[in-house]
């Protein structure tokens, strides 16, 4: 299934709202409710149900990381940090494997 982002849903809402459909009010409200329900959105629209774990970083996370490191969350700093997205993803994957392997080793010791 193709992933749908909130911008796609907002476009759909605009199209439905501009249409002459008798159901447009009902559909518009349902779609607006869908994107406002973050738990449903992340669990179903982003389609994370098939995964044990995942990490989603957003702009606020980048700003917090900069602030925690005593750096200004300027557009330039945010852009530079975002350019290292692949490195951040790779590090998260490596840490995840290390954590899983550590838990497996602990489980082996406990058996």
Token couple for 35: 């994107």
Predicted pLDDT of residue 57: 83
Structure token pair of residue 100 = 């899983």
**Predicted structure pTM score:** 0.47
Residue 40 · residue 9 · CB < 8 Å: no
* pLDDT tens track for 24-41: 677 667 667 766 666 555
Mean pLDDT of 75-82: 88
Of 11-20, 32-41, 42-51, the range with the lowest mean pLDDT is 42-51
Q: What is the distance of C-alpha 105 from the center of its chain? A: 30
Distance, CA of 97 to CA of 10 (rounded, Å): 36
User: Percent of the chain scored above 90 by pLDDT?
Assistant: 22
Residues 6+ apart with CB under 8 A from 92: 55
Lowest mean pLDDT among 5-9, 29-33, 38-42, 106-110: 38-42
**What's the mean pLDDT when you consider all of the chain?**
77
Report the distance separating Cα 77 and Cα 45, nearest Å.
Answer: 30
Angle of CA points 94, 42, 35, to nearest 5°:
150
Longest dimension (CA), the chain: 66
Q: What radius of gyration do the chain's Cα atoms show? A: 20
């Amino acid at each position: 299934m193709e992933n749908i982002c909130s911008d796609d849903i907002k476009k759909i809402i605009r199209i439905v709202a501009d249409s002459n459909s008798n159901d447009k009010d009902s559909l518009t409200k349902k779609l607006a409710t869908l994107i406002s329900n973050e738990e449903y959105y992340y669990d179903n629209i982003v389609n994370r149900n098939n995964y044990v774990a995942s990490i989603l970083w957003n702009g606020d996370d980048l700003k917090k990381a900069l602030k925690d490191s005593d750096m200004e969350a300027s557009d330039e700093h945010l852009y530079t940090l975002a350019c290292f997205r692949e490195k951040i993803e790779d590090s998260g994957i490596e840490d995840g494997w290390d954590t899983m392997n550590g838990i497996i080793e602990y489980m082996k010791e406990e058996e």
